Amino acid sequence: MENIRNKKGFICDMDGVIYHGSKILDGVAEFVNWMIEADKKFVFLTNSPERTPHELSMKLERMGLSVSPDCFYTSAMATAEFLNTQSPGCTAYVIGEASLSKALYDQKIYMNDVNPEYVVIGETRTYSFEKIEKAIALVNNGAKLIGTNPDTVGVTEKGIMPATGSLIAPIEIATGKKPYFVGKPNPLMLRHGLRKLGCHSDEIAFIGDRMDTDIIAGIESNIDTVLVLTGVTAREDIGSFPYRPKYILDGVGDIVKNIK
Rounded mean pLDDT of 80-103?
97
**Do 2-47+184-256 and 76-181 have matching folds?**
yes
Q: Give me the chain's average pLDDT, please.
A: 93
**pLDDT confidence tier of residue 22, bands split at 50, 70 and 90:** confident
Residue 1 has pLDDT above 80, yes or no: no
Rounded mean pLDDT of 52-79?
95
Rounded mean pLDDT of 246-257?
94
The answer to whether 13 is a known catalytic residue is yes
Q: Which residues contact 260 (CB under 8 A, 6 or more apart)?
A: none
Rounded mean pLDDT of 185-194?
91
Q: Is the peptide bond before 185 cis (omega within 30 degrees of 0)?
A: yes
HSE (CB half, 13 Å, CA atoms) of 190? 30
**pLDDT confidence tier of residue 208, bands split at 50, 70 and 90:** very high
pLDDT of residue 155: 65
Domain locations in the chain?
Answer: 2-47+184-256, 76-181
Q: Which residues contact 63 (CB under 8 A, 6 or more apart)?
A: 19, 22, 23, 24
Active-site position among 13, 151, 209, 224: 13
The answer to whether 15 is a known catalytic residue is yes
Residue 258 has pLDDT above 90, yes or no: no
Q: Give percent above pLDDT 70 in the chain.
A: 96
pLDDT of residue 259: 64
Summarised one tens digit per residue, pLDDT across range 130-160 is 999 999 999 999 999 999 999 988 766 666 7
Choose among 134, 84, 86: nearest CA to 109: 84
Q: Phi, psi (5° rounding) for residue 12?
A: -120, 130
Rounded mean pLDDT of 97-116?
97
Residue 260 has pLDDT above 60, yes or no: no
Q: For the domain 2-47+184-256, what is the CATH superfamily, name and number?
A: HAD superfamily/HAD-like (3.40.50.1000)
Q: Considering the domain 76-181, what is its CATH architecture?
A: 3-Layer(aba) Sandwich (3.40)
